[in-house]
Structure 1
Amino acid sequence: MADGRLSGPLDPGRGVYAISVAAELSGVGVQMLRHYERLGLLAPERTAGGTRRYSEADLALLARIGELVGDGVNLAGVAQILALEERNRELEAMIARLRSRKGM
């Protein structure tokens, strides 16, 4: 693809990008990626040797973090918003499962 990302049937959660590539693709510096990880905002996969591997899902999360920071939200607020968004996704999935059981 033109943006340097892999094409084809790739699991969006599978870590494939080294930290330098993730930094380039996301526009976020390497040190900031490490900082986000220390804060628990990001949890890239690690190889057996400890090398970080970022996924497409990680890049999407970085974009969301960037949007929130761009809107003036501090990193503590970003963590809270991301947690609430994840909880909403979980609840929506639960509702969908319950509805499908009832035949709705």
Structure 2
Amino acid sequence: MTRSQEDDRSRSRGVYAISIAAEMVSMQIQNLRVYERRGLVAPDRTSGGSRLYSPDDIDRLHRVRELLAEGLNLAGIAHVIALEERVRHLEGRLRRRDDRDPSEQ
């Protein structure tokens, strides 16, 4: 596993309790629960069912807050986030294609 893959895995591992996550993003705990129900974040769960938010989840919640401030509703935010993820995926595919040996193209 490369260093980049290890970093990606550690960024997606849940480490913050809901109260800490809410404080980090300046949101109310109940809002985080709503965003989870709406599919905007998917925190890990402990064996006891407690939510654990990852650094990636925290970034996502900051983005949700930004989009709310711009006037989007939760349905609109879900669409924007899905499109942003699709763009990142496609950009990654283009980078990998461009990084290949020119003789392979």
The TM-score with structure 2 as length reference comes to: 0.85
Query: Structure 1: which 5+ residue stretches go unaligned?
Result: 1-8
- The one-letter code sitting in structure 2 at the alignment partner of 1:61 is R
Identity, % of aligned pairs?
A: 50
Give 5+ residue unaligned stretches, structure 2.
1-6
Encode CA deviations 1:28-63: one digit per residue, 9 max, x unaligned. 111100000000001001112211100111111111
Partner of 2:16: 17
3-state SS of paired residue (2:62)? helix
What is the SS of the residue equivalent to 1:27?
Answer: coil
User: Following superposition, which runs of at least 4 residues in structure 1 exceed 3 angstroms of deviation?
Assistant: none
Greater share of helix: 2
Q: TM-score, normalised by structure 1?
A: 0.85
Give the whole-Å Cα distance in 1 for the aligned partners of 2:63 and 2:18. Answer: 18
Q: Aligned-residue CA RMSD in angstroms?
A: 1.7
- Match for 1:30: what amino acid? I
User: What corresponds to 2:93 in structure 1?
Assistant: 94
Say how many residue pairs are matched: 96
Q: Tell me, what secondary structure is at the counterpart of 1:53? A: strand
